[in-house]
Structure 1
Amino acid sequence: MDYLLPNITEILILLFIIITFLQSGLDKVFDWKGQIAWLNSHFKETFLGSMVPLLVGVLVVLDLLASVLAGIGIYQLAINNNPMMGLYGSITGAITLLMLLFGQRIAKDYAGAFTIVGYFIVVIFGVWLLSNH
């Protein structure tokens, strides 16, 4: 735990990633039908409409993967000052957010797309910090 305070900014960002993506992934898992129904209507006028269940499945995997990698990353940063798993978790989170942003833009939900930007700024700052560690 000698590296906890020197890495506190990175650790707090990784906690943000865990909270954000774990909740998102679990929400999709436990309310699969509701998520699919809402997203089917959201994307019905787009070329993504027929792929909603597949795309939600991909998002679930990426959400949960980002969370797990961020959790391992916190442990590795705190114990041995190793940023790699945290970096991988941040990159996975950034890719997930870019996918969500793409979907919102395709659906012409510009307000929804805008809300993703705030999350992306925090996550990409984590990528930057951890890649320059």
Structure 2
Amino acid sequence: MNISHAGLILILFFLLITYIISAYEKINGWKSTQENFKLMYAKTLIGKAIIPIITFIIAFEIIIVTLAALGIWDIIYAEDFEIARSTFLGSSILCLIFLIGLRMIDDYKGASRVGIYFLVSIFGLYWLESIISIA
């Protein structure tokens, strides 16, 4: 492992921890998660499709967690960055989905907090791309 890859691994760990806790909380508190989302999105176009949307988000989070773990493994043992790239792209897309949802309900504070996670994902992608272009 090259020491320059430690930063990418730390960002991947950050995303892994973030999304695994998020998915766990949604699954563990399934009833309250449903109620909260139904209440928040009741006056929007997606108000009637909350359960499939929550299920999609949980599945997407689990995919990102899996990709992050595999990406860490691949960077350490094979110095391969393709799975890490998919992790950063998936995380960025999920953040954009969250941003759209939060803007629909005029939760600007929540949207700004999601922006931080988006920036972390984009920074990881940028860093990865710069490593690949140098190699």
TM-score, normalised relative to structure 2:
0.93
Which letter does structure 2 place at the counterpart of 1:8? A
- Structure 2 counterpart of 1:90: 88
Higher relative helix content:
2
Partners of 2:105 and 2:11 in 1: CA distance: 29
Assess if the C-alpha contact under 8 Å between 1:84 and 1:130 holds in 2.
no
Which letter does structure 1 place at the counterpart of 2:16? I
Q: Which of these residues, 105, 108, 128, is aligned with residue 130 of structure 1?
A: 128
Q: Which runs of 5+ in 1 are unaligned?
A: none
Q: Note the alpha carbon deviations across 1:66-125, whole angstroms, 9 max, x for none.
A: 111011001110111101111111111111111110000001111111110111110111
Partners of 1:16 and 1:5 in 2: CA distance: 18
Assess if the C-alpha contact under 8 Å between 1:76 and 1:82 holds in 2.
yes
Seen in structure 2, the aligned counterparts of structure 1 residues 127 and 107 have a Cα distance that, compared at 3 Å, is: same
- Structure 1 counterpart of 2:107: 109
- Structure 2 counterpart of 1:31: 29
Seen in structure 2, the aligned counterparts of structure 1 residues 4 and 52 have a Cα distance that, compared at 3 Å, is: farther
Matched ranges for 1:1-133 at <5 A = 3-132=1-130, 133=132
Partners of 1:28 and 1:82 in 2: CA distance: 32
Report % sequence identity.
25
The CA RMSD over aligned residues, in Å, is 1.0
Which letter does structure 1 place at the counterpart of 2:66? V
Partners of 2:98 and 2:44 in 1: CA distance: 14
